């Protein structure tokens, strides 16, 4: 047969997620840690990997790793769940709390994967857009929640791609006034230092998402985790792929987590560089950066998509959000090494001052 019946209806309006990851001298588009895992730790990782039985299935729930994360957070093993990157856990959320007849409250502009997961699972999406400065419209969210039909919401803190924290007081009000499942996505928490973890004991409807991809330099490994109530996490276990977290990734993550203190100087450096990049951006004419508590900065500039082309033609890859809803003329730069940040700042200044030729017609074609 040289034809095939259509795929499932929810796929009709969807385009596959495209991180627009292209080769470049300065990779500043994906909020990764610019420093790879150090050599000494890599040796330890190699040693651990050598012990892994490749012919055997992995521990489905990665209990050794769960125990380490639980202990560090003052929790029990069953209050921790690991996934194949935070992305898998976000998909599991939509499977477990969404579905036909169920409703997700979204706070755009935010991480686009949330809405895509809702669409895939036939979950209705209610959008409560952020204010013009990207703060959450708190009263509108609380008013919408009071209608009682929201099954889950995700509060991203710091928010991606805009960079600001959600207020702790507001999250507490949400947790108190609604029985919806509230995921607080803390993928970038190591750069903000603020977490809702202390509230887990009081609120069964709170789950926290974290990742090894950013602060711990393991974007290539795919490891994320949830902190939450044991009964809530049991619902996630029901929908997850049993062996989604492979044995090699478990071994790598155990070594990195046991040595996480070693990442602290790198994290502090990123926080320091973030302040420098923000300050320098405010000095470039026609550039409006938004404050950030994460490892990236969103900024608005006229003709953002041409500016993106100019940056890329000079080897600097940033993320173009200029055509995304609510993010007109916005670009997002991840904080890299001091040299990469300098290259970005110089090139951006040149592009804005008209000193930059675009050598490629459009690198994105």
For ligand PMP, the binding residues (CB under 6 A) are 31, 85-87, 111, 156, 160, 185, 187, 211, 213, 219, 224
Residue 192 Cβ, how far from ligand PMP at the closest point, in Å?
12
Using the structure block, give the residue that is written with the tokens 């926080």: 271
Provide, rounded to whole angstroms, the least separation between the CB of residue 337 and ligand PMP: 20
Q: Closest separation between CB of residue 85 and ligand PMP, Å?
A: 3
Q: Mind giving me the DSSP string for 200-227?
A: TTT-TTEEEEEESSSTTS-TTT--EEEE
| CA gap 85, 113 in Å, rounded | 13
Nearer to ligand PMP, 211 or 341 (CB): 211
Alpha-carbon gap, residue 204 to 29, rounded angstroms: 35
Cβ distance to ligand PMP smaller for residue 219 or 338:
219
CB-nearer residue toward ligand PMP: 225 or 314 = 225
180, 153 Cβ separation under 8 angstroms: yes
**Minimal distance in Å, beta carbon 241 to ligand PMP?**
14
- Say if residue 12 is exposed, middle or buried (CB neighbours under 10 Å; 0-12, 13-18, 19+): exposed
CB closest to ligand PMP, residue no? 85
Q: How far is the CB of 174 from ligand PMP (least distance, A)?
A: 18
Q: Shortest approach of ligand PMP to residue 279 CB, angstroms?
A: 24
213 vs 313, which CB is nearer to ligand PMP?
Answer: 213
**Bridge partners for 103 per DSSP:** 124
Cα 199 to its chain centre, rounded Å, is 21
| 108, 153 contact by CB (below 8 A) | no
Nearer to ligand PMP, 83 or 347 (CB): 83
- The answer to whether 358 and 310 are in contact (CB under 8 A) is yes
Cβ-based nearer residue to ligand PMP, 58 or 85: 85
């Amino acid at each position: 047969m040289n034809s095939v019946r259509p795929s499932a209806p929810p796929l009709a309006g969807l385009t596959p997620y495209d991180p627009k990851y292209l080769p470049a001298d300065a990779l500043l588009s994906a909020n990764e840690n610019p420093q790879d895992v150090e050599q000494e730790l890599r040796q330890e990782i190699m040693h651990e990997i050598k012990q892994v039985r490749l012919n055997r299935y992995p521990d489905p729930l990665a209990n050794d790793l769960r125990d380490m994360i639980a202990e560090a957070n003052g929790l029990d093993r069953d209050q921790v769940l690991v996934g194949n990157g935070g992305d898998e856990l976000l998909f599991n959320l939509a499977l477990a709390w969404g579905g036909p007849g169920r409703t997700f409250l979204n706070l755009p502009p935010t991480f686009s994967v949330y809405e895509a997961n809702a669409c895939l699972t036939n979950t209705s999406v209610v959008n409560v857009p952020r204010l013009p400065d990207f703060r959450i419209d708190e009263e509108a969210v609380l008013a919408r929640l009071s209608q009682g039909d929201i099954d889950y919401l995700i509060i991203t803190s710091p928010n991606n791609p805009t960079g600001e924290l959600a207020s702790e007081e507001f999250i507490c009000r949400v947790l108190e006034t609604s029985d919806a499942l509230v995921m607080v996505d803390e993928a970038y928490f190591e750069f903000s230092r603020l977490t809702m973890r202390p509230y887990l004991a009081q609120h069964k409807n709170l789950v926290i998402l974290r990742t090894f991809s950013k602060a711990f330099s393991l974007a290539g490994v795919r490891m994320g985790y949830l902190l939450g109530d044991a009964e809530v996490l049991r619902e996630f276990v029901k929908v997850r792929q049993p062996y989604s977290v492979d044995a090699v990734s478990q071994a790598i993550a155990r070594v990195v987590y046991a040595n996480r203190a070693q990442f602290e100087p790198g994290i502090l450096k990123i926080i320091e560089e973030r302040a420098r990049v923000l300050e320098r951006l405010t000095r470039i004419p026609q550039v409006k950066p938004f404050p950030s508590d994460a490892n990236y900065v969103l900024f608005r500039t006229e003709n953002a998509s041409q500016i993106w082309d100019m940056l890329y033609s000079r080897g600097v890859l940033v993320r173009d959000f200029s055509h995304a809803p609510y993010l007109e003329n916005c670009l997002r730069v991840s904080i890299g090494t001091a040299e990469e940040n300098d290259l970005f700042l110089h090139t951006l200044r040149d592009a804005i001052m008209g000193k930059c030729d675009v050598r490629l017609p459009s690198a994105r074609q």
